[in-house]
Amino acid sequence: MLPLFLSSSVQLPLGSCSMHLFEPRYRLLTQRALDGGGGFAMVWARHGRGFPLCVDPASLVGVAACIVQIERSRQTPDGRWNLACRGVVSARIEECWVEEGTGELYMARLRPAASLRDQEQDGAEAQPAADAAPADPEGLPSDAQPAASAQTAAANEPPEPGASRQDRLQYIRTQMRLLGLTHHLTSHAEVVGNASADETYREDDERFLWMASVALGGPPYGWSSDDEQQALLDTRTVEERINKLCALYHQASKQRWSFSSWLTFGLRRWGPLLVAIFIAWLASGAKSLVS
CATH of the domain at 43: 2.30.130.40
Compute the C-alpha angle 219/231/271, nearest 5°: 20
99 and 192 both lie in a single domain: no
Closest CA to 207 of 185, 231, 232, 224: 185
**233 within a domain of the structure (yes/no):** yes
d(CA 243, CA 170): 12
SS3 49: strand
Which pLDDT does position 53 carry in this prediction? 86
**124 within a domain of the structure (yes/no):** no
**283 within a domain of the structure (yes/no):** no
The answer to whether the beta carbons of residues 201 and 184 sit under 8 Å apart is no
The answer to whether the beta carbons of residues 44 and 7 sit under 8 Å apart is yes
Q: What secondary structure does DSSP assign to 169-200, as a single string?
A: HHHHHHHHHHTT-THHHHHHHHHTT-S-HHHH
The answer to whether the beta carbons of residues 12 and 42 sit under 8 Å apart is no
Of 113, 146, 175, the residue at which a domain comes to its end is: 113
Cβ atoms within 10 Å, residue 225 = 12
Closest CA to 189 of 132, 138, 133, 252: 138
**77 within a domain of the structure (yes/no):** yes
Phi and psi, residue 271, nearest 5°: -55, -50
**261 within a domain of the structure (yes/no):** no
Domains: count for the chain: 2
106 and 155 both lie in a single domain: no
Predicted confidence pLDDT, tens digits, the chain (291 residues): 999 999 989 999 999 999 999 999 999 999 999 998 899 999 998 887 878 888 999 999 999 999 999 999 999 999 999 999 999 999 999 999 999 888 889 999 999 886 444 555 544 444 433 333 333 434 444 344 444 334 444 556 778 878 888 899 989 988 888 888 876 665 544 444 443 444 444 447 888 899 999 988 876 667 788 899 999 999 988 889 999 999 998 888 887 655 555 555 555 556 677 778 888 888 777 666 665
Which pLDDT does position 199 carry in this prediction? 42
Whether this model's pTM surpasses 0.75 = no
**280 within a domain of the structure (yes/no):** no
**123 within a domain of the structure (yes/no):** no
85 and 159 both lie in a single domain: no
Domain of residue 165 covers 136-255
Which pLDDT does position 128 carry in this prediction? 39
Query: In sequence order, what are the residues at sequence separation of 6 or more whose Cβ sits closer than 8 angstroms to the Cβ of residue 54?
Result: 6, 48, 104
Which pLDDT does position 263 carry in this prediction? 57
Q: Which amino acid is at 79?
A: G
The answer to whether the beta carbons of residues 226 and 44 sit under 8 Å apart is yes
| Buried/exposed code over 189-220 (b: 16+ C-beta within 10 A; e: otherwise) | beeeebeebbebbbebbbbbbbbbbbbbbbee
**87 within a domain of the structure (yes/no):** yes
Closest CA to 172 of 251, 93, 277, 76: 251
96 and 15 both lie in a single domain: yes
169 and 245 both lie in a single domain: yes
d(CA 209, CA 242): 7
145 and 250 both lie in a single domain: yes
Cβ atoms within 10 Å, residue 155 = 18
d(CA 50, CA 189): 40
d(CA 156, CA 253): 7
